[in-house]
Amino acid sequence: MLPYQHKNTSQSALHGALKACEKKDVILKPNELYEIINNVLYELNKLRIKSDKFMTLNYFYEDNSEFTYAGTHEIALLYTSKEGKVIEIKNCASKTAFMGLAYNINAKESCGSFKMQKDDILLLYTDGLIEARDAESNQLGIEQLKEILVNEKI
């Protein structure tokens, strides 16, 4: 699957799962949703088109400023306006299998939660941002991104 096809397929699988939940009056935890979407992608990707393509992704649920999440992508950054610092939400990265490579993965270890307050900023980004290079070929990196978030409040 080409990247745009993977994205469209995952969006379709997500909407299908959410519609089924709505119809059955069921609320899935973020890790359960991640596992279901993974199984759909695996069946389409590995079994039908015999591809080794994969994707990384996090699902976040918000309820009264309380966020719960599951998945794997990059470390999320939370700027706390009250303290003026950035907290790394590390469970967003490398805690479960990438989507589309294996069937019946367990995403429970990637679960986490955090609370946001007024004026806090949650930064979710792709690896292209922290791998961007300046004129001297230095990568931006996560530490510099944190500095930018604190100083500029993107």
What confidence tens digit (pLDDT) does each residue in 55-105 have?
899 999 999 999 999 999 999 999 999 999 999 999 899 889 999 999 999
Q: Note down the domain range covering 9.
A: 3-152
* 48 token code pair: 């039908």
Summarize the confidence of residues 40-58 as an average pLDDT.
87
* Dist CA 17 CA 15 (whole Å): 5
C-alpha pair distances (Å), 151 with each of 85, 121, 138, 144: 10, 13, 20, 10
Q: Calculate the average pLDDT of the chain.
A: 90
Q: Is the pTM of this model over 0.85?
A: no
Report the distance separating Cα 90 and Cα 72, nearest Å: 10
Query: For position 52, which CATH number holds?
Result: 3.60.40.10
User: How many domains would you assign to the chain?
Assistant: 1
